Amino acid sequence: MKKTKILISTLLAAMVLIAAAAFPVYADIIYIRGDANSDGKVNINDVTYVQRVIAKSEPDPKGVVKRNCDVDGNGLNIVDATNIQRYIALFANPYQIGKQFHYDEYELPFIPSH
């Protein structure tokens, strides 16, 4: 009986370790939507940075620009840069650019209500 308990305990511990490796926990990341260079504000420098990443003249190795600036959830493209420019010019802001968000690996893209 004692060997059975030890065996079951060992198997359960192994299953927990396997599950932990398969489903890693990510720390919550706080970011500002539209802030490509992560300086805490959204301005023309962010638009330029987004354009450079899209043109592949600037790297985005950790996906920070994509996470922060894919404002419409359709993949990072020139429309996102245009929407950020519209925010800077004080046009309507349906994508909540400039607002702080919490991100984790399981976040769905933001979809504005029209």
Task: Report the amino acid identity of residue 92.
Answer: A
Averages of pLDDT over each 10 residues, the chain, 114 residues = 78 70 63 96 98 96 93 94 98 96 63 52
Backbone φ and ψ for 34, nearest 5 degrees, come out as 100, -5
pLDDT at residue number 114: 46
Which residue in the block uniquely carries the two structure tokens 């638009």? 47
pLDDT at residue number 10: 81
Strand pairing partners for 103? 29
Q: Is 102 helix (H, G, I), strand (E, B) or coil?
A: strand
Separation of alpha carbons 41 and 99, rounded Å: 10
